[in-house]
Amino acid sequence: MLESEQKKFYEDNKAYCTMPFKEIYSDSAGRYRLCCHAKQYPPINKYNVNNTTPFKFFKSPEMEELRNKMLAGKQVDACRVCYKLEETSGESYRNGVGSETFSKNLGILLEPNRVGIKLRVHSTYCNLSCYMCHPFNSSTRRNEVKEIYGPNALSGIAGATMGWANESFKSVNHKEWNDIKKDILDNADLLGYMNMTGGEPLQLPKQWELLDEIPKEHAKHITLYFNTNLTELRWKKWNIFDYVDKFEKINFGVSCDHYGRKLDWMRYPIDRVKFESNLKEASSLVKEINLTSSILNIFDLIEIRNYYRDNFGIPMTFQNIVRGPFMLSIRNLKQKDKDILLKKYEKLPNYSYIQSELMIEPYDIDHIKMKKYCDDLSKHRNFNWRELWNEY
């Protein structure tokens, strides 16, 4: 395709997305999905990390059929999150990613090319229990929820109330892990990037072991993206700075949702002094700070952005939105508050994701449940959230 033809194709095609052409993603339940935002896609449900290695899944006839379907402009139900965002604001993860890809002159991908991996198979160990984190992505968060609400809090009616219904955590055994690792190493020449996630990726030995085994001749063409809480730059025998020369590039997307004592509560039990020290030490690797918008920081986004920009020189993105637990969603704000925020943030970068969420009908839940949830966490942590958010 000529560049003009590619641009027209992208503008006209309301189903095409680069992700099924360039990334292999699996969630904490061991399921392969089209991307981290997509819902389950029934034709690939038979594949999971326990029975199929990543590249075998990626090259499967079902994925090939899906890619052809997208090229033909046929929408798939698994991508309805993006379609709904586009209906409200015109921008979504789908066309945002697509636009970025086109702007980098990569063009429209007609075949899989420079494949990336984002696999939650290395463990969900994390040292933090962030108040809005999905429990299946963090061991500490999962344990805290169970200690407060009981061992069945993540399933059945209790889980459905929070937004965690029909979810589960599924690990891989030793053989399955070695099969996955071998598959990645056998296809290392196809890798363009590795999105390191967890748990907390800088604290997962299996991820470090994988990086150690990637041959240097392939590593020099691979970019590493770490979605990290940045509480540790060194873990056991590993040091992130030892890998800078081996790989093409290392970028940190740092998860951070506030500053000061509000950060302490939201990302409990973070050592804020060490976190900010790590921000300075790793500044050459930090690409951006990724804030997840929720009901406890939505009014402070400009102040939060300015704090990290002015003190650390690091830009902030606002593409992540809390959708579970349901009571923490910004959808649930009163209409007068939504109107204020829509006006306040109309010129905020990446604002369209927040705008779309504010325009969606609220969940059938009230602020009383949100307050009780935060009270429950406060009691368990011996750290009163109401002292920090006195408006509640």
Q: What is the pLDDT of residue 100?
A: 46
Residue 22, Cβ neighbours under 10 Å: how many? Answer: 20
Q: What is the pLDDT of residue 105?
A: 39
Q: What is the pLDDT of residue 1?
A: 57
Q: What is the pLDDT of residue 166?
A: 52
Q: What is the pLDDT of residue 154?
A: 78
CA atoms within 13 A on the CB side of 351: 13
Q: What is the pLDDT of residue 101?
A: 42
Report the mean per-residue pLDDT for the chain. 89
Q: What is the pLDDT of residue 114?
A: 83
Q: What is the pLDDT of residue 104?
A: 38
391 exposure class (CB count in 10 Å sphere: 0-12, 13-18, 19+): exposed
Residues in the chain with pLDDT values less than 50: 97-106
**1, 9, 80 from 13: Cα distances, Å:** 15, 6, 15
Q: What is the pLDDT of residue 99?
A: 44
Q: What is the pLDDT of residue 214?
A: 97
Q: What is the pLDDT of residue 164?
A: 65
- Residue 291: φ, ψ to 5°: -95, 135
Q: What is the pLDDT of residue 315?
A: 94
Q: What is the 3-state secondary structure (H, E, C) of 4-62?
A: HHHHHHHHHCCCCCCHHHHEEEECCCCEEECCCCCCCCHHHCCCECCCCCHHHHHCCHH
Burial readout 165-201 (b: 16 or more C-beta within 10 A, e: otherwise): eebebbebeeebbebbbebbeebbebbebbbbbbbbb
Residue ranges of alpha helices (H) inside the chain are 3-12, 19-22, 54-58, 61-71, 80-88, 93-103, 139-149, 156-162, 174-186, 205-213, 216-219, 260-266, 272-281, 301-312, 335-344, 351-358, 367-381
Sequence ranges of the domains in the chain: 3-113
Q: What is the pLDDT of residue 98?
A: 43
- The DSSP secondary-structure symbol of 227 reads E
Cβ neighbors of 72 (< 8 A, separation 6 or more) are 15
Q: Which residues pair with 249 in a beta bridge?
A: 223
Report whether 98 contacts 17 (CB < 8 A): yes
Burial readout 123-159 (b: 16 or more C-beta within 10 A, e: otherwise): bbbbbbbbbbbbbbbbbbbbebbeeebeeebbeeeeb
Burial readout 311-327 (b: 16 or more C-beta within 10 A, e: otherwise): eeebebebbbbbbbbbb
- Look at the chain and count its residues: 392
